[in-house]
Amino acid sequence: MTRPRTTRALAGATALGLATLCLAVGHTSAHAAGTTLPPESTFFSTASVAESSTIQSTSDGDLWASCWADDGNLYAANGDGRGFSTSGSASDVAVSRITGIPGSLTGTTVALGNAVSQIWTAGNYNRKPTGMACVNNTLYLAVQDLNTNFDDAPAATIVKSVDHGATWTWDHTVPMFSNHVFTTMFFADFGQNNANAPDGYVYVYGLDNNWRTSFSGSVPNPVDLYLARVPSTSVQTRSAWQFFSGTVNNSPTWSSDINARQSVLHDARTMYPTLINSDTHKNVTPLAQGGVLYDKPLNRYIYSSWTDYTYEFYESPTPYGPWSHFLTKDFGAGPWTSTKNGGYATTIPSKFLSSDGLSGYLQSNVCPCGTAGLGVYNYALRPVHLTVGPTAAASNAVGATNLAQTAGTVPIERVAHFGNNGFNNDGNLGNSEDDWNNELKGADSSWWGYTWPRQYNVGQVVYTTGNMYSDGGWFASNLRVQVRHANTWVDVAGTTSSPTYPYNTSAGTNVSYTFTFDPVSADGVRVIGTPGGSSTFTSVGEVTASYPTQYNIRGAILVKYNSSGAASGPEGAATSNELGTPDGIGRFNTFQNGSIYWTPSTGAEMVYGLIFQKWASLGYERGVLGYPTTDEVADPQGRRSTFQNGYIIFNSSTGVTTAYHTDGTQI
């Protein structure tokens, strides 16, 4: 099959590239070239973010650093646009007042341009908002100078409004930060009017050099996240600032000397090191301008960041750490679509956080001026859902339940090329999704599976392939099953597979491969391996997981069972080992809904449901009809199975099942 190039081939190269866009467009772990990797979180069990910005607004601009003010409104600052008053003037910085809830947001631009801030650096620089705080009935906005090539940010300051954004004041003589140090600032979001702050300070996170990867290399990439605090009454007084400088006996230390600071998070991974098409950026780093939300119900700090291709999420029990990584959401290279797109400047506004702290909305943008293939150039949200790590032991009994379809299941994958990760567990074995992403991926860089908000006993996975293409769609090597314990993935033991996976295009389209292994308790399961083809990707039609009865199904009967969907197919779970028929000719297994019979002359055929019941009433293979010679198929009256000496028809209109001799006379 030839892959549709309109959905995969990248648009032509531009000077800005996919990750720069008008500002920037927007796993890992196993695919990062860098050696420094933050620990994986054990706090969250599942985390999901929608494949696209599902809630958009009538507004113009990107970035949208925001805070929840004392008057109940959300205030947000955008770059390069008009804000919410879309008929007005455009500027490199504008502030809007936003009212309503996701799905019915409206707003008004209250200030923009020179009324908000100034440019400090001579040359090709303009203003960009990076963070906003609402505290003591006052708005504070961090604004940086950003090179027009988006590759360095040499200066930044904080401006102040005491009238809900109508007017702004700042020191016009000197920026608060310069020399590319702490020049991308964003505030910890402690809820409405900073009400959930732990003390009388405002906490500010900062990056050096640039707001994201510096593609030209004019400055080093930001690989460290720093933290400062300042009394809430002295935010614009630079001498009042204190910088996190380490811990003593697990307590933070602070210094007024910015040179004494220590990072609270170091992540030097470089992702997408080798590309198929070179017109997007490689070796992107994951720390960028985003936001830190204090999730009070969970007593957790959540940092949302991004790269050209991914969203990156970290969590910590305190503002200063220890920070752990808990999710990479990979969107791959463009062109993106309205139903699958990543983005940049990721924030999770506290105003839209659920009362239990487990659901919210993420804001990010895509500029229409790059190779992403679309624009999300307005205040745009998408749902985020979390669950905390399970504490109860697995309790599910042996049976045919498809654990992939239980409540709270979250599909996981390296990337869903077309945004259809719901295909993994929708029950349709004829679907196809793949993980093409414009990266030449290496070992163990392709997977399909699930995470769960609880522990399950699991002992079998059925992986059904998707489409095969000339340049990929199959696993090249080391296909196996892994389960997750405390966010650590490990190989299962005692695995048998049927049929044997061929590691080339002959794996076939929508073919099921059953992996049975020693039962184990886990809160996640996946198939993983090295992707194949010149474009190094795999495909999926379905993945089921179960805790099956440990019956012996072999040979042609197993092939037939797998081809029908195994335990998720019409036969259901096995209820016996393979047995011999009384006449000594055939072999069979019984299942929840019927049987599969084999003889040397008929091969393996399925009989199930009401037709099976009718055949059983006539004496099975020893009766007048003999052995089945076909599976159940469609018939003008409903459904039909053929046997050596006749056939049985189920009439879907009447619900009656009738047996006939070969000559058509009724039995």
Residue type, 236: Q
Q: Are residues 246 and 364 in the same domain?
A: yes
Which structure tokens are listed for 86? 């879309």
**CB of 191 within 8 A of CB of 304?**
no
Q: Are residues 616 and 498 in the same domain?
A: no
Cα–Cα dist 316/314, whole Å:
7
Point out the residues of the chain with pLDDT beneath 50: 2, 4-35
What's residue 14's pLDDT?
28
- Show which of 354, 388, 422 is a domain's final residue: 388
| 570 Cβ contact list (under 8 Å, min separation 6) | 564, 593, 594, 606, 608, 609, 632
Residue/partner pairs of 571-580 with CB below 8 Å, 24 or more apart = 571/595, 571/596, 571/606, 571/608, 572/400, 573/399, 573/400, 573/546, 573/548, 573/549, 574/548, 574/549, 575/549, 575/551, 576/551, 577/551, 577/552, 577/553, 578/552, 578/553, 578/554
**CB of 344 within 8 A of CB of 364?**
yes
**CB of 308 within 8 A of CB of 272?**
yes
Task: Say what the pTM is.
Answer: 0.83
| 185 Cβ contact list (under 8 Å, min separation 6) | 130, 131, 142, 144, 156, 158, 177, 204, 205, 206
Q: Are residues 103 and 199 in the same domain?
A: yes
What's residue 400's pLDDT?
75
What's residue 562's pLDDT?
85
**CB of 205 within 8 A of CB of 185?**
yes
What's residue 30's pLDDT?
36
Q: What dihedral angle (degrees, nearest 10) is formed by the CA atoms of 437, 328, 59, 164?
A: -160
φ, ψ for residue 482, nearest 5 deg: -125, 150
- Show which of 487, 512, 546 is a domain's final residue: 546
The verdict on residue 72 lying in a domain is: yes
Q: What dihedral angle (degrees, nearest 10) is formed by the CA atoms of 474, 477, 480, 485?
A: -110
**CB of 312 within 8 A of CB of 306?**
yes
Cα–Cα dist 132/128, whole Å:
12
The verdict on residue 260 lying in a domain is: yes
| 338 Cβ contact list (under 8 Å, min separation 6) | 52, 374
Q: Are residues 344 and 442 in the same domain?
A: no
Q: Are residues 422 and 343 in the same domain?
A: no
Residue type, 403: L
The verdict on residue 586 lying in a domain is: yes
The verdict on residue 144 lying in a domain is: yes
**CB of 207 within 8 A of CB of 221?**
no
Q: Are residues 490 and 597 in the same domain?
A: no
* Closest C-alpha among 496, 498, 545, 544 to residue 518: 496
Which structure tokens are listed for 610? 């009401």
Cα–Cα dist 460/243, whole Å:
52
φ, ψ for residue 263, nearest 5 deg: -75, 150
**Alpha helices, DSSP H only, in 455-608?**
555-563
Q: Are residues 135 and 165 in the same domain?
A: yes
First-to-final CA distance of the chain: 47
Q: What domain count does the chain have?
A: 3
Cα–Cα dist 666/662, whole Å:
9
**CB of 61 within 8 A of CB of 378?**
yes
SS3 275: strand
* Closest C-alpha among 473, 571, 454, 583 to residue 522: 454
Cα–Cα dist 144/255, whole Å:
23
φ, ψ for residue 333, nearest 5 deg: -80, 160
The verdict on residue 397 lying in a domain is: no
How would you class 394 by CB atoms within 10 Å of its CB: exposed for 0-12, middle for 13-18, buried for 19 or more? Answer: middle
**CB of 33 within 8 A of CB of 221?**
no
pLDDT in tens, 603-614: 999 999 999 999
DSSP 612: H
**CB of 126 within 8 A of CB of 146?**
yes
What CATH number should be reported for the domain holding residue 104?
A: 2.115.10.20
Q: Are residues 320 and 235 in the same domain?
A: yes
Q: Are residues 418 and 374 in the same domain?
A: no
Q: Where are the beta strands (DSSP E) in 153-264?
A: 155-161, 184-189, 201-207, 224-231, 242-248, 251-255
Q: Are residues 75 and 216 in the same domain?
A: yes
pLDDT in tens, 292-309: 999 999 999 999 999 999
In the block, which residue shows the tokens 């150039």? 377
How would you class 378 by CB atoms within 10 Å of its CB: exposed for 0-12, middle for 13-18, buried for 19 or more? Answer: buried
Cα–Cα dist 447/525, whole Å:
10
Residue type, 416: A
The verdict on residue 112 lying in a domain is: yes
Give the structural domain span for 428.
Answer: 403-546
What's residue 1's pLDDT?
58
Q: Where are the beta strands (DSSP E) in 84-137?
A: 94-99, 106-112, 125-135
The verdict on residue 276 lying in a domain is: yes
Q: What is the largest CA-CA distance in the chain?
A: 102
SS3 424: helix
- Show which of 361, 388, 415 is a domain's final residue: 388
Q: Are residues 333 and 431 in the same domain?
A: no
Cα–Cα dist 486/633, whole Å:
46
In sequence order, what DSSP letters do the residues of 524-556 get, joined into one string?
A: EEEEEEEEBTTTTBBEESEEEEEB-------HH
Among left, alpha and beta (phi > 0; psi -120 to 50; other), residue 505 is alpha
How far is CA 353 from each of CA 55, 296, 349, 442, 501, rounded to the nearest angstrom?
A: 15, 10, 7, 38, 45
Q: What are the strands of the beta sheet with 381-388, ordered from one edge? A: 44-49, 381-388, 359-365, 344-347
Q: Are residues 612 and 480 in the same domain?
A: no
What CATH number should be reported for the domain holding residue 526?
A: 2.60.120.260
The verdict on residue 609 lying in a domain is: yes
Cα–Cα dist 207/411, whole Å:
33
